[in-house]
Structure 1
Amino acid sequence: MTTIYDKLLAYGNSDAYPFHMPGHKRQITDFVNPFQIDITEIDGFDNLHHPEGILKEAQERAAALYGSRSTYFLVNGSTCGILSAVSALVRSGGEIVLARNCHKASYHACYLGDLVIHSLYPQWEPKWGINGGILPEDVEKLLAEYPKTQAVLLTSPTYDGAVSDIRSIARICHVHRVPLIVDEAHGAHLGFHPYFPESALKLGADVVIQSFHKTLPSLTQTAVLHVGRDAQVDEERIRRFLGIYQSSSPSYIFMAAMDRCVEFLKNEGKERFEAFAARLEDFHAFAGRLEQIRIPGYEIRGSYGIFDFDRSKILLVPAAHGGDWIGRKLREKDHLELEMEAGSYGLALTSVMDTEEGFERLKKALLRIDGELAGEKEKQETGTGYDGAVHNEIVISLREAYDGEKETVLLQESEGRISGEFLYLYPPGIPLLMPGERISRDVLERVAFFQEEGLSIQGLRDYTAEYIDVLREAEEG
């Protein structure tokens, strides 16, 4: 029998190099035995749900570093921050403008609040086969069309590094007296060096949620919620919902890791980010030598809503092969593990903790693979597959469909029925289908394509993704 602990220990002691989360990249070696500091709310250690001492001071240090009015530690990841922000800013039964490529937690918040969703569609970047940014004019159009909207929520940067024009979007939201929530889970490192895009917090967003663990040296499940200095939001409601969605037994190990991360950024950030930016610049210069593996850089900016681009997200697009192919190549021969293997590309996530050795191993591996591809007799351009715009007909509300009477049918025979479940492409957890939407031939063809590509379809009660729960005919009628 192999336990989880045994398997983790074996992986940690191997020569596998992580081009994936968490951002500490297993480089923190001076952190104490976690069992030694695993406590509860004993005298002198404050209470996260009513901070007055050491935890209050720690959150104030984080706020001072990031330039927020308030910063709240999240021990349940960015998920609980998104749930809290949406619940606090949009009253039950209210309306929200929501980017379609938001994480599933955003949709769960809408379910819990029985919210009316007005979908905001990102642009599609066809060359690389990724979601682009959100156009400010699309935000303006929806806010004008739906004046009862109580909040706008979008994701920037995306999983792949696309950054929207947050400053312009924030201005539009504020003209309409609507707060802007930005899921910046993949951007806790933004704003610490000019090589990277600016954080949404500095560009006028009202509430910004970041995952420390994704791109910074902190433990998995650690995140923060920032309230902007000029945000016109009811912060008491945010605190109320944080008390609902956060564990009543928050991990002091997690909170200590976040506080330590803040001190790291304050004391070592400038030097470390200089080195990180130099390594990335060197890598992207190297990428120009590759002939069969394409890697996007700053040239991606300026079209398809991509206002800026985070080059710490390295997209590897091999000629005539998909992401699973290059991911397998890197894993089996070079012991390099990617974050994600999509249809046409692999995604290597880097952080300030990546080493020179790690980058050199990746460069050496890519040079070898590039040579192998050049030696193939027949080559063809890899198609990017389907675009990211899923425009489904909403028949009934998310809550009504999720809670309605259902029956189970074969997924590929469900065309025309009303979905009673979520269906995600994971990672990153973006819904292809929501409860209450009519199942179209387009969605079914996309699912078949993604399954053929070996991608993970999740959200359905049936883990094999052969069956789906739909509303009973009587409920649909």
Structure 2
Amino acid sequence: MKREERLLDRLKLYSQGDFYPFHMPGHKRNCFMGQEYTDPFQIDITEIGGFDNLHQPDGILKESMSWAASVYGADKTYYLVNGSSCGLLTAICGSTSFGGKILMARNCHKSAYNAVFLNHLEVRYVYPQVVEELGIQGGILPEDVEEILQEDSEIQAVLIVSPTYEGIVSDIKRIAEIVHRQNIPLIVDEAHGAHFTFGKNFPVSALDLGADIVIQSIHKTLPCFTQTAVLHTKKGYVKEEEIERYLRIYQSSSPSYIFMAGIENCIYYMNGEGREKMDELSDRISQVRKKLGDLKNLAIAGEELEGNYGVNDIDLSKLVIVTKNTKITGADLDRILREKYHLEMEMCGADYVVAIITIGDSEEGFERLIKALYEIDGEVGLQEGKKNADTSLEWSMKVTSKPEVEMTIFEGIAGEKESIPVENSVGRISGEFVYIYPPGIPILAPGEMLLPSLVHTILEYEEMGLPVQGLRDISGKNIQVIKTGK
């Protein structure tokens, strides 16, 4: 391997360029609160005397996590060095029995589906609303959760994503009340809401609204290292011993002290100076949105969604830039921003891109984005001739379409499979996931029927250049399906 081909050298070269990150991690490659990490090797240790053990904490780590719980208002907080994925695996397996049943929002992250597979669970899905005029997902209706729980007494836990990648917050308070009437826990994937606790003008954290287990990615919206997260619990409906047992399974047996110190340092900073920074950020977000208010063709999703489509609140730090009424797709906008303007977005859907704004952002970054969007806005026309004008095939609608479930996810993955062309797969049962990553929400899960509309969507998304993943065939031409026995 040539030196210039090494990952480290590529990363150094990239950091010296002018590409601006409107994506996670939330520190945006700034070390304004982490000067002590300029030489990480100096603090990279293992479990030695005086530094505790994350898998059986009784010293400095136990005290640190207890302090973090007091900051967030949790009964217990656990540091996660394997990201929110580890927290979701733990929460689901620790709240259900092997072979049990869970009620899960269909727009959950792929790690939640992995937990379903590992614990051989049967799944009931609750679907988010769809904001058709913007081509994005809305929130989960409490009434839908209640209806399913009333008709199925075997459900052992409920899992909701709030906020979504697009900043949509569901009515967690009402959902928690409904779930608790069944004497089961509410798990909230709040990976994108770790900053809520520290900002007055941001949505209220699910932890303060009745959720029993809340998982947050510290690195997504706060200034911390990629792969750092926390899991919070409240007493009452949580099996604490089970949670801790599964944490010992899914956490690394050699947890990084750099990561653990990073989590503690980040929370310490956010609980002090960071609160002022969050107030300043709120003002900056308002200014950015106001400056983008005169776009003619592109649109910015915002507060107009509150109270509709199951949306209880909006996290305005997620800038959702909609291309629905233009000639370009979300993938086109994502590519133009990257290639022409050197602005890297967090994700793109069929008709939008998402930019994450955090306290790590700079005025220079905001001005570059505003300038770029106005230039693009002046160059793109209205919808005539748009490649993906068929609104029935919007990405957001596909992830909320109700699949025909033929077998459990475990049965779909474990079953004998064969590989066939995607275009010939209508009517077959999928043996693998298909999702856009990010955000990692399945269009199709193992054990589900490949309907004509889903096959069309997969082929269309690949043609549009969206990041379709999950298929064993990385070319995207073939899909694993369950053998029919013929």
Q: Same fold (TM over 0.5)?
A: yes
**Preserved contact between residue 404 and residue 448 of structure 2 (Cα < 8 Å):** yes
For residue 214 of structure 1, what is the amino acid of its counterpart?
A: K
2:307 aligns with one of 302, 309, 317: 302
Corresponding residue of 1:324: 331
Corresponding residue of 2:263: 258
The offset of 1:325, in angstroms, is 2.2
Corresponding residue of 2:289: 284
The offset of 1:36, in angstroms, is 1.6
For residue 372 of structure 1, what is the amino acid of its counterpart?
A: E
The offset of 1:335, in angstroms, is 1.7
The offset of 1:395, in angstroms, is 1.3
Distance 1:259 1:380, change over 3 A: same
For residue 321 of structure 1, what is the amino acid of its counterpart?
A: I
Corresponding residue of 1:458: 469
Matches within 5 A, 1:396-415: 396-415=407-426
Corresponding residue of 2:63: 57
1:7 aligns with one of 10, 13, 18: 10
Matches within 5 A, 1:29-428: 29=32, 30=35, 31-228=37-234, 230-318=235-323, 319-373=326-380, 383=389, 385-386=393-394, 387=397, 388-428=399-439
The offset of 1:367, in angstroms, is 2.3
1:387-438 CA deviation, whole Å, 9 max, x = no partner?
1322111112221221111111112111111111111122111111111112
For residue 287 of structure 1, what is the amino acid of its counterpart?
A: L
Corresponding residue of 2:27: 24
Distance 1:165 1:413, change over 3 A: same
Distance 1:48 1:434, change over 3 A: same
Q: Secondary structure at the match of 2:94?
A: helix
Q: Secondary structure at the match of 1:186?
A: helix
For residue 258 of structure 1, what is the amino acid of its counterpart?
A: I
1:216-252 CA deviation, whole Å, 9 max, x = no partner?
0000000000002x44211111000000000000011
CA distance in 2: counterparts of 1:439 and 1:196, whole angstroms: 40
The offset of 1:176, in angstroms, is 1.2
CA distance in 2: counterparts of 1:18 and 1:273, whole angstroms: 19
The offset of 1:381, in angstroms, is 11
CA distance in 1: counterparts of 2:315 and 2:79, whole angstroms: 24
**Preserved contact between residue 316 and residue 346 of structure 1 (Cα < 8 Å):** yes
CA distance in 2: counterparts of 1:393 and 1:61, whole angstroms: 46
CA distance in 1: counterparts of 2:380 and 2:417, whole angstroms: 49
**Preserved contact between residue 136 and residue 165 of structure 1 (Cα < 8 Å):** yes
Q: Comparing 233-242 with 347-356, which one deviates more in the overlay?
A: 347-356
CA distance in 2: counterparts of 1:21 and 1:316, whole angstroms: 17
1:446 aligns with one of 457, 473, 477: 457
**Preserved contact between residue 207 and residue 231 of structure 1 (Cα < 8 Å):** no
The offset of 1:382, in angstroms, is 7.3
The offset of 1:324, in angstroms, is 2.2
**Preserved contact between residue 61 and residue 262 of structure 1 (Cα < 8 Å):** no
CA distance in 2: counterparts of 1:361 and 1:472, whole angstroms: 52
1:305-341 CA deviation, whole Å, 9 max, x = no partner?
1111111110112322112222222223322111112
Q: Secondary structure at the match of 1:450?
A: helix
For residue 54 of structure 1, what is the amino acid of its counterpart?
A: I
**Preserved contact between residue 121 and residue 389 of structure 1 (Cα < 8 Å):** yes
The offset of 1:277, in angstroms, is 0.4
Ranges in structure 1 where 5+ consecutive residues have no aligned partner: none
Q: Comparing 105-114 with 340-349, which one deviates more in the overlay?
A: 340-349
Q: Secondary structure at the match of 1:346?
A: strand
For residue 186 of structure 1, what is the amino acid of its counterpart?
A: H
CA distance in 1: counterparts of 2:259 and 2:460, whole angstroms: 40
**Count of aligned pairs:** 473
Q: Secondary structure at the match of 1:89?
A: coil
- RMSD, matched Cα: 1.7
CA distance in 1: counterparts of 2:139 and 2:74, whole angstroms: 24
| TM-score (normalizing by structure 1) | 0.96
CA distance in 2: counterparts of 1:200 and 1:47, whole angstroms: 29
CA distance in 2: counterparts of 1:472 and 1:320, whole angstroms: 41
The offset of 1:38, in angstroms, is 1.0
Percent identity over the alignment is 50
